[in-house]
Chains A and B, each alone.
Chain A
């Protein structure tokens, strides 16, 4: 690099890159080689993150230009988490993936070997810079007095939730429903099985993605309750009017951890490793964490978490690892062909 930035700013850059990160050995020669020319990143993400990443991408472009003088444009792709993972496996050149659940990134690692299988330990906090959970959205005034998971299987209640086979959020919703039955007094696996069967008996429409279900519930007027991502519920309030809907936080739910990862083979081929790694590290920065809270995801950063604490009711949140033994096990037992979810729809 000929017009090299002032040494202080390079040190700042390195501090920013290494500071948040665990791995990614950075050589200044790499920075030099990749710095000046404009670069495009592709972030392949899941359905409800459109609005969040629109803001984060703009903030990162500013941040990166100020630090390095390099212009970076982050492009977004959104869709059902499973479909997005398949697209990356089939060759969509994603520099980074930010999906709804770890299993989908595991699949990219297992099937296409685009990133190492220990990807989740390469960034802080299980590679999840933000958290979320599953809540209920009901019509204004909560006419059916829906407060808890058990209310969803009362006679006459219709629940809208996407298909767990195709939607990451729907899988978290399914697992939250299951966990609520397991953790209920006297709960066990048989009770949970019976509960989720009942739960899906009350579902009149299974959309393939989270956004589709929101539209079905909010715009088409189907159902009494939408079981959805916390951020999606807030977004629906903002989008369709707080005078039409209200959010009900159930007494127990699941800690949803949507992870992010660098796709090594792609960034090495495109020569975008440094910028892409910087992007993921940026997600942990105070600035991005504030945007995360603003878009109703639960921030990891204590300061941002405190700032937005009012919008995130404190409820017990079970984790996938403790309650289900991790994603691979949960996937095999519940969502694979012939798993518990399929058995729900078997004719008796």
Chain B
């Protein structure tokens, strides 16, 4: 499926549309078509485009990752295992992946609401709100982290309100979660918003005339159309959260076994000149993230197939 086919997607049975941001899946082309080196197309330029893609990906992604994968073996399997089996590393991995999953999940719900408000309604200051969604992208993550810590510390604006209730945010895992939600939000909103905008109002109006209530219209018409973009947004927000460092360390408290994220542990290993240890944790994070992304893509594929039927 090429990106160009999106805008002219017919409004009939909700076809799975792809948002602009897309997860790296390639296998969703029409299943009957044979896969080979060359996509049959009238458009020229296959060879240079392909060569450039390979070079670009190699220099930016594949080579650095290969260097990472080559590093942990300095102390053999034993060294790798000792690093990874330590309770502290396991706790950090659990925290990073667990909270990233929760943050991405919450963002799917909250981001959908935000995107809905931005796409469906007009209100004063809408453009401002729209621009604000992208701020977590533009801000240096450290700035975001410091700002969040200042607000959510027990003497900050929000933290001071929560403190009497005994709720501590900054310097606890809850603080980590908030930072991860903040950095992940744009992925969902920006993924869902265009799809929502393009969603044909006539379909909903037709459903209305056929007597479908608002819940049913949302559930059976709008949500299925949004599912692919929500899944993509989820996976991007998740991937970003797993690797997030700058904004988290300022609000996390960084206590071993409790609020220490895996990327911080990598930095700590590096500062002890333990390059192999740092690479071990990095490699495991890479493999775990990869597994999660593949799973998400399989889910997406299954959803797309069901939508097509």
**Contact residues of A with B, CB < 8 Å?**
80, 82-83, 86, 89, 107, 111, 163, 165-166, 203-208, 212, 216, 219-222, 335-337, 342, 345-347
In Å, the complex CA distance between A341 and B154 comes to 28
Instruction: Name B156's closest neighbour in chain A (CB-CB).
Output: A220
B171–A337 touching, CB < 8 Å: no
Instruction: Name A336's closest neighbour in chain B (CB-CB).
Output: B272
In Å, the complex CA distance between A35 and B171 comes to 52
In Å, the complex CA distance between A307 and B270 comes to 42
In Å, the complex CA distance between A18 and B280 comes to 49
- When A and B form their complex, which 7 residue pairs have the shortest distance between CB atoms, in order from nearest? A221-B155, A345-B256, A220-B153, A82-B271, A205-B253, A206-B254, A165-B268
In Å, the complex CA distance between A80 and B171 comes to 20
A-B contact pairs, 30 of them (CB 8 A): A107-B273, A163-B268, A165-B268, A166-B267, A166-B271, A204-B171, A204-B253, A204-B255, A205-B171, A205-B255, A206-B253, A206-B256, A208-B249, A208-B264, A208-B267, A219-B150, A220-B149, A220-B154, A220-B170, A221-B155, A222-B171, A337-B269, A337-B277, A342-B88, A342-B256, A345-B88, A345-B257, A346-B88, A347-B87, A347-B257
> Does B274 count as interface, using CB distance less than 8 angstroms?
yes
Q: Given A220-B149, A220-B154, A346-B87, do A205 and B254 touch, yes or no (CB 8 Å)? A: yes
Q: How far is the CB of A62 from chain B (nearest CB, A)?
A: 35
**Contact residues of B with A, CB < 8 Å?**
87-88, 149-150, 153-156, 170-171, 249-250, 253-257, 264, 267-274, 277
B272–A82 touching, CB < 8 Å: yes
What is the total of A-B residue contacts with beta carbons within 8 Å? 67
Q: What DSSP secondary structure best describes chain A's contact surface? A: loop
Q: Which of A205, A207, A212, A221 has the most CB of B within 10 A?
A: A205
Q: Which chain B positions have C-beta within 8 A of A107?
A: 273
Instruction: Name B264's closest neighbour in chain A (CB-CB).
Output: A208
Q: Given A220-B155, A222-B171, do A337 and B257 touch, yes or no (CB 8 Å)? A: no
Q: Which chain B positions have C-beta within 8 A of A207?
A: 254
Q: Which chain A positions have C-beta within 8 A of B249?
A: 208
Q: Which of B154, B255, B269 contacts A221 (CB 8 A)?
A: B154
